[in-house]
Amino acid sequence: MPKVRLIAKTEFVEPDWQTDAEGGEALVEFAGRACYQSWDKPNPRTATNATYLRHLIEVGHLSAFEHGSATLYLTELPRGLTHELVRHRHFSYSQLNQRTDPTDVVEPELIRQHPELHAKFVAATEASLAAYQELVDSLEQTVTGRRARQIARSVLPNATGTTIVVTGNYRSWRHFVAIRATEHVDVELRELAVACLRELQKAAPNAFADFVISTHPDGTEVASSPLVTEG
């Protein structure tokens, strides 16, 4: 399963206004209140950061959530999975360079649990890695090492391991979790979305509190929110 780690989040530095939250959550509230200049918090039902952000979600004022952001570092995931991830164009990505030598492969859990399938997986990936190295050795006679590695990667499988840094605002992250953590999504991508949600709820609990993680009948985890209106 991919490892997900929070490595950066929004800092809020406005000195003349106070709330009971920090960072991106405070910024989201500030942005929302700036629209109506409601600095004195006249409504007691939205006087806290948690209740105010929930109100924004309930009424669909999600543009305010674009001001807060979080950066996650994803490791130990197969390159094939990142092909699905990068389809979310509202994120910013920095992925392991294609010209680096492959160091590992990431075996799907269902294959790992089945001895016969595991043996086939190992044989296939070892053959691909051997072919890669043979191509690199031959290509380096005519092109640079970096160019040789880039060309030779064409024979590597989708299971080749990679790492990627992903930055997104809260609205983008909410959308990603809403559509990728459901039972209708491939298990690997769903696991990644749920893992990201856990880190996001640590970084900005009020901005993601409406999402609930539960166990699907097949034993895997899903996440959903009754307040999601964007799909």
- For the chain, domains (ranges, CATH) are 3-72+164-224 (3.30.1360.170), 107-157 (no CATH)
Catalytic one of 33, 174, 180, 190: 180
The answer to whether the annotation marks 175 as part of a ligand binding site is: yes
- Cβ neighbors of 71 (< 8 A, separation 6 or more) are 6, 7, 8, 9, 165, 166, 167
* Helix, strand, or coil (residue 201): helix
Average the pLDDT over 51-64 and give the result. Answer: 96
In this structure, the dihedral spanned by the alpha carbons of residues 149, 153, 154 and 158, taken in order and rounded to 10 degrees, is -170
The answer to whether the annotation marks 133 as part of a ligand binding site is: no
Condensed to tens digits (0 to 9), the pLDDT of residues 88-138 reads: 999 999 999 888 888 799 999 999 999 999 999 999 999 999 999 999 999
State pTM to two decimals: 0.93
Q: Is 146 a catalytic residue?
A: no
CA–CA separation, 206 vs 54, rounded Å?
8
The mean predicted confidence, pLDDT, of the chain is: 94
Average the pLDDT over 162-188 and give the result. Answer: 96
pLDDT number for residue 100: 86
- Strand 212-215 and strand 3-9: pairing? unpaired
The answer to whether the annotation marks 147 as part of a ligand binding site is: no
Q: How confident is the model at residue 187 (pLDDT cuts 50, 70, 90)?
A: very high
pLDDT at 193 > cutoff 70: yes
pLDDT at 230 > cutoff 70: no
